[in-house]
Structure 1
């Protein structure tokens, strides 16, 4: 739903699927908050709930997630168990104040976690102070209360003209002083007692780790746990009581489950949660039925977006209507009914459900979603289970009785605003004439209130504890005030086990047994057998007097299972438990129209064309915005701990096997364990010696050689702004390794391979230690250089790594949003308000990312013709515009860059890739797109090459056996080849007026085009490689070669021509590019096959010596000559290619193609070309194959 309030656009989401797509999958756009002048004023911009999405928010959010992980919340469970016992006790003895007691429970749990202290009563000083702070915040944030919230410019008025400042600053000072007091006291106590839980200590450590020494921010972060966590938990528990009081059938089923699973001699614990599906279902249904957040806190779009054809503008408020989603009768049948049965089979935890891939898999939406999902979800889940299960274990729930008539009064779910009271009776039967909502079960009441001698219960027997019961004289009477736990902070509750350390039994590590029992002991000795053995007391304002029990110690290195891993989204965002819901950016050319939501019209295109996937879903794969390309994630270490599988006598082990198979023996188990241990203890690599690491001067020399000699078709490293001191080490090592290859120093080749291998190991370790590295710009650039280096290095390990790295690199680049049009990382207006230097740097950053995306695309697209493998990238995902011209890219200064384009802003006249590709075939677009830049022509050539390889693959698939014979696949291939031929040119005519940089790109394009003709010649390249590996002796391939030559004479002659052209280009225009050896090797091999077949199947070719009298009748053709395409010489060659006829065909070093001697001559010429390629050692490997083929060919003649 869309509406406007003044100038503000507002969208309300009421559909779960839309909610998952926008808030979850595109969280990078929808995680911002609307500006809040009031919120910033009273909190100083430190509340994460109001904080805008950015670096500071991510830092605070990371702290939240690190201190509230599922594992760490397991460590807080014992304190929640004790607080729940205190709450049950107080509700029994003060039933009319149960609502305040629920608030005290939630607040005490939150305070224990945050500051290491309890809240003993709802009337304590801390409770009063936090209540005042929260009320002030609620008052201040009331919509419409302050005019300057709607008109922010009023904040610029003089102070006397802002009457609201006095009140808001009072709120701010009160909150700040209260938060700092609690935080400082907690940190001081944590230093004295390091074994006690205290989130303040962990927040302080996390902020120091992040190099953020901000005490105010740390205190505000801790206070948010109290404010948000306590109120929401208490409200949810109030709704639980309302639901149970109005649905007796639910209470009956819950009692039955508890009696069956737990029994009546203990309370449920968190460990019982998996065995209590109905209790879990009650909690989930309660959060759906009466959500604590019917309407979410407003989100705010940080950039323009498009969803399902509708345009959503930047700075649009987006609200999520949880109430409508929970009331959707298509999702929840009979949604008004409180029916836990709908979740009885929902076994996922709250976090796992919140991160479900499919919106239909979620239980409810009360915890929010996306990057703003509730950070305390694990703590809240445990708190709700503890109180809900224990209230059901202790009480019956029913309608209140009329005090006069004794009949049940009417109670409906609409009574949420009424004043409900809870009273207790001593037995299940015999209702009394008073209001009763909570009624204790008799068996639990006997456990809590019994004053006689009782036998030891089964729970205490299992735990080895003494079952103790209170002295009736010490039990508080009904109506007495609740005991103040502050008065007796050291009291023992029960007898500790023999191995319990006395030092841990009291607050200061000292026993004060002389004090004897205290009123506070009545609280817990009444259910002493239900308490964890490691706990002896609960104090009030002092720190909790109980260390974490055995098995719950926190190890920060333990493997923490983040439930985002259940989603494919987690595949791209482990670096940060909350930043994995980021997303990409849309192209920057969407313009804000009068109406913010409108259908997008289809582009003019061919009737057979369909829009690319990126058109409809610009958020492919993981969810990282491309600002992350310049962000280095935080490092962390994962240690793997194999969790226990079941118990020692699990019931599953009692069942028989489904199949009669040999059983695992103990010796095999031991061998498996020993093998795993041995492999893990063995180092992955041998030690690396860095004694000969080059000096600074040599490193500078290698970097210089890199920029002089390594000139890819699309340059992606900006030399004018490159600073070795600011780039990452892996990128610097990649540059040094390639630069060293061009050095004349001794050992340069071995050194280059060694540095590349060292860098390969570092890259692997970086990825393992911190997966967020894979999305940084430097890391991706280093991987691209590694892949390029390894492809041509001739080093077996580096070559294999290069092939493996390509698909990984494409995936990581797509996940990082690198194939989406980058937006400037900072605003740089095109008018005179920005300096030339700042505009240039912004342009360089965006252009560098754009070029990096195209360079990765080039690496992947050419794998088809260089390796005869399927590319990993889908062209439909490409949303980049074509790169700017090289002259601008290589401009050494900002002003030289500006001088090249004084009339044009940096973002104008960009050529869209899709339009440029269509222009090749639909000339109606020619007026809008003019391809003259050689970089652009290279991109289009590589793209057509990619299409051609896909058609070759399709032509060789089994599908071709089932399609009609007139299926125009061959015609499509011919169309692509004809279009590629339009990009051919004569290099000889260009070398006089083109510099080496441009000529290098042109030659690369010509090599690709000629090689495409080899891949377009049927299955030539499929059987050629096996034939070469067998030195020409592979029988099946040889037979296929002969058959292939007889099938189409035109195709055979064209292969000979294009192979000769490749060899000529490799011989006449070598530029030491990494892929040159591929072209020469394939061309030499294909030409060898062609000359064999031409001698056998082309009678018109003059393969023997001719008489001088007949020479005038024979056309002499030189296949490797560079003729102008519109000249007469090329016309004769073209005529022979198409029609054949009598001709004397030759090339450099081969006078007569097709003669027996020409077979060896071609191979020898190819060998000489490869031997002259001395920079990249892959040519040596190709040379060895050619030598073997020469030897085999010489023996056969």
Structure 2
């Protein structure tokens, strides 16, 4: 029997979006496709089919830019022009690869490179190319050279051991320059501004800080479980847990950043903040938009630039507005809880922060903190109903260690290895970010007989790394027991000397590793352990959950679903205070 998690083949329905315009195929949406169309290889591999491939790409590009009712002479002229561009492109790439010994990979199309093949399910395309070209290969998006890393050893060699070379960021036009206005700890180059923002954020995200506000995470996890109980009418009604998980994560970050929280799902800030986070993820993934890689598009009006400018304005209005509210309270002598904004307002002159600096710092803080943890809780809720045996084993462990008269706490985590295994396995199987935030090489670097040129973008292909059978036997099976003897936190596992022993790569690597790992791990443990303590989570037979589809282009979350969350013993309502 195939595991519900297994998803080597994705629905052709969405793959069609990327291939229809290119190949003019009429696809049957009831079929499935495992891998993307073939692209030409770099000359280092095989040039025997170049003429055939050129004809394919000429037809493809013509299909994109020409109307079928145009005259034959016009189409012929266009084919000649497109063919000429293609030949020039191949010659350019051939010289680039041959002269510099850059790792091989797909050439892609003229002008846009491999971009059209990465607009939907990019993780499957990159996984296919990793199997074809190896664990380190190159591709181009527009004028930008990328190196795709699909192996833990190589990832550590480049991003940890040689972090001095690969710890910067490319100043992407949309993310860095437009949305974050040259600021933001996830987007700025490795410079003094980044160090300053990282230091401020880390002050509120390190282990000591997390210990100081664990009571906040504890409270919001309890509210989450209580709301799931109430909205689901004690298991009698189906419920979509997704908005509740989103609000839980949002409240944690609002408390840490601004000293406030929302009191219900209907609070206007809930929908607004979650929408901003999703919009940011859809605009700014490593391969989300072509504007970053075709400079001409940056100088003419286009949809993505307009979208980025609006998102910048919305972020400054929303989170800048919350900063102003805290500032007014402080000026009026009102009590303001210790929080990120209180700190940056008190040190604004010392740190030389202007208003936009503060608004973007808080925006990055909120987006990063909300999207990851909420998505993991959502994937857990979508996945676990298919595994009643795993739930049963988790319930037995909770009853043995915690009992039924109280909720699990942080102190219980070390004694709940199976719960920890479930969480790690969800993070392995459903990393919200299959493509890590891109690193940027600041100098030429020779590695394993290849050259990674200066100004190359280096991206972790975590989908392939998380499904590597050398590290994870039966990689498409959901098996929490694979982590049963792993007592490390993910923040500790990231520092293991043997990269092949690391639990997963969800938080990135090297000097740019996610500074919020400590808070994310604690938040997720409290939420998931308490959901398992309180509920038996059951799939609705008439509403099967599709784990192959997902929402989002960069940050991934399940498509909307409903389940029943049935209290599993008679102490649940008493312990929750209902």
TM, length-normalised to structure 1: 0.34
What residue in structure 1 maps to residue 60 of structure 2? none
What residue in structure 1 maps to residue 419 of structure 2? 279
Residue 49 of structure 1: how far off its partner (Å): 1.5
Residue 359 of structure 1: how far off its partner (Å): 0.6
List alignment gaps of at least 5 residues for structure 1: 403-408, 424-437, 449-523, 527-1197
Residue 411 of structure 1: how far off its partner (Å): 5.8
Paired residues of 1:67 and 1:203 also in contact (CA < 8 A): no
Q: Deviations over 1:216-271 (max 9, x none)?
A: 21222122222121111111011112332112221111111111111111001112
Give the 3 Å change call, closer, same or farther, for CA 334–94 of structure 1 in structure 2: same
Q: Deviations over 1:800-837 (max 9, x none)?
A: xxxxxxxxxxxxxxxxxxxxxxxxxxxxxxxxxxxxxx
Measured in 2, the distance between the counterparts of 1:208 and 1:271 equals 40
SS in 1 for 2:164: helix
Paired residues of 1:246 and 1:413 also in contact (CA < 8 A): no
Instruction: Please identify, of 15-24 and 36-45, the stretch whose mean Cα deviation from structure 2 is larger.
Output: 36-45
User: Which one of the candidate residues 357, 372, 378 is aligned to 1:217?
Assistant: 357
Measured in 1, the distance between the counterparts of 2:297 and 2:541 equals 57
Paired residues of 1:355 and 1:369 also in contact (CA < 8 A): no
Q: Deviations over 1:286-327 (max 9, x none)?
A: 111211111112221111111122211011111111111110
What residue in structure 1 maps to residue 253 of structure 2? 110
Paired residues of 2:142 and 2:294 also in contact (CA < 8 A): no
Q: Deviations over 1:567-595 (max 9, x none)?
A: xxxxxxxxxxxxxxxxxxxxxxxxxxxxx
What residue in structure 1 maps to residue 295 of structure 2? 152
1:94 and 2:235 aligned: no
Which structure carries more relative contact order (alpha carbon 8 Å, separation 6+)? 2
1:368 and 2:505 aligned: no
Q: Deviations over 1:14-54 (max 9, x none)?
A: 11011011011111211222231122122211222221221
Give the 3 Å change call, closer, same or farther, for CA 415–251 of structure 1 in structure 2: farther
Aligned length: 427
Q: Deviations over 1:1001-1040 (max 9, x none)?
A: xxxxxxxxxxxxxxxxxxxxxxxxxxxxxxxxxxxxxxxx
What residue in structure 2 maps to residue 421 of structure 1? 562
Paired residues of 1:393 and 1:444 also in contact (CA < 8 A): no
What residue in structure 2 maps to residue 76 of structure 1? 213
1:266 and 2:403 aligned: no
Measured in 1, the distance between the counterparts of 2:289 and 2:494 equals 36
What residue in structure 1 maps to residue 159 of structure 2? 23
1:38 and 2:174 aligned: yes
What residue in structure 2 maps to residue 325 of structure 1? 465
List alignment gaps of at least 5 residues for structure 2: 1-136, 233-238, 551-557
Paired residues of 2:151 and 2:465 also in contact (CA < 8 A): yes
Measured in 2, the distance between the counterparts of 1:110 and 1:34 equals 27
SS in 2 for 1:303: coil
User: Which one of the candidate residues 297, 305, 329 is aligned to 2:445?
Assistant: 305
1:10 and 2:150 aligned: no
Measured in 1, the distance between the counterparts of 2:414 and 2:328 equals 38
SS in 1 for 2:213: helix
1:377 and 2:513 aligned: no
Paired residues of 1:186 and 1:198 also in contact (CA < 8 A): no
Paired residues of 1:190 and 1:198 also in contact (CA < 8 A): no
Measured in 2, the distance between the counterparts of 1:164 and 1:260 equals 54
User: Which one of the candidate residues 297, 317, 321 is aligned to 1:177?
Assistant: 317
Paired residues of 1:305 and 1:311 also in contact (CA < 8 A): yes
Give 1:462-481 correspondences, 5 Å limit. Answer: none
Measured in 2, the distance between the counterparts of 1:441 and 1:177 equals 44
Paired residues of 2:435 and 2:459 also in contact (CA < 8 A): yes
TM, length-normalised to structure 2: 0.69
Give 1:126-525 correspondences, 5 Å limit. Answer: 126-138=269-281, 140-141=283-284, 149-152=292-295, 168-189=308-329, 192=333, 196-205=337-346, 208-209=349-350, 211-402=351-542, 413-414=547-548, 419-423=560-564, 438-447=565-574, 525=577
SS in 2 for 1:367: coil
Measured in 1, the distance between the counterparts of 2:359 and 2:419 equals 36
Measured in 1, the distance between the counterparts of 2:421 and 2:289 equals 43
Give 1:548-567 correspondences, 5 Å limit. Answer: none
Q: Deviations over 1:142-168 (max 9, x none)?
A: 7888775334356567xxx67876654
Give the 3 Å change call, closer, same or farther, for CA 119–203 of structure 1 in structure 2: same
What residue in structure 2 maps to residue 123 of structure 1? 266
Give the 3 Å change call, closer, same or farther, for CA 214–6 of structure 1 in structure 2: closer
Residue 414 of structure 1: how far off its partner (Å): 3.9
Measured in 2, the distance between the counterparts of 1:44 and 1:216 equals 8
SS in 2 for 1:30: coil
Measured in 2, the distance between the counterparts of 1:102 and 1:163 equals 31
Residue 208 of structure 1: how far off its partner (Å): 4.6
Measured in 2, the distance between the counterparts of 1:135 and 1:292 equals 12
Measured in 2, the distance between the counterparts of 1:45 and 1:108 equals 27
Tell me the C-alpha RMSD between the 2 structures: 2.6
What residue in structure 2 maps to residue 1136 of structure 1? none
